[in-house]
Amino acid sequence: MMMLAVHLSFSGNCRQAFLYYKRCFGGELTMQTLADTPHGRGMNEAMQQAVVWATLENEYFKLVGTDLTDEDRIVSGNNVSILIECPSFTERTRLINKLINRNYCAFENTNPLVNVVDMYRISWILSVQP
């Protein structure tokens, strides 16, 4: 089953924002920091506190966010994406091809998250849970 969510990108304040949203909207909040992952070992403490993935779910919506981004800097306009959780890599590739109106790369991309921008400059993140 595919799930649609809103994805928010932050510059180091994802934890504070999601705690605020939880107070505003209620729901179940889960967070993972770099310190919680094998990749975080050996990083400085500030980097270890970066939020890899925050999720707030309630009866109305699902919000997902991160402090980690490919963007050089976060500005209003590039900090919100639509996240679609796909059931398979095949389905994700099919959706990417439709969104960008051409065939996606020929190799099998096993990155769990792929970001594409459609012709209307809307940012989409398509994920597959391993």
pLDDT digits (tens, 9 = 90+) for 44-94: 888 888 999 999 999 888 999 999 876 566 666 668 888 888 888 888 888
List Cβ neighbours of 8 (8 Å cut-off, separation of 6 or more).
14, 17, 63, 64, 65, 66, 79, 80, 81
Between 1 and 129, residue with greater pLDDT: 129
Q: For 26, left (φ over 0), alpha (ψ -120 to 50), or beta?
A: left
What does the pLDDT look like over 20-41, one tens digit per residue?
Answer: 999 989 999 999 999 888 877 8
Residue 80's alpha-carbon distances to 6, 26, 63, 90, in angstroms, are: 7, 21, 10, 25
Hey, what are 93's tokens?
């590739």
Asked if 34 and 43 touch (Cβ cutoff 8 Å), the reply is yes
How many angstroms separate the first and last alpha carbons of the chain?
Answer: 14
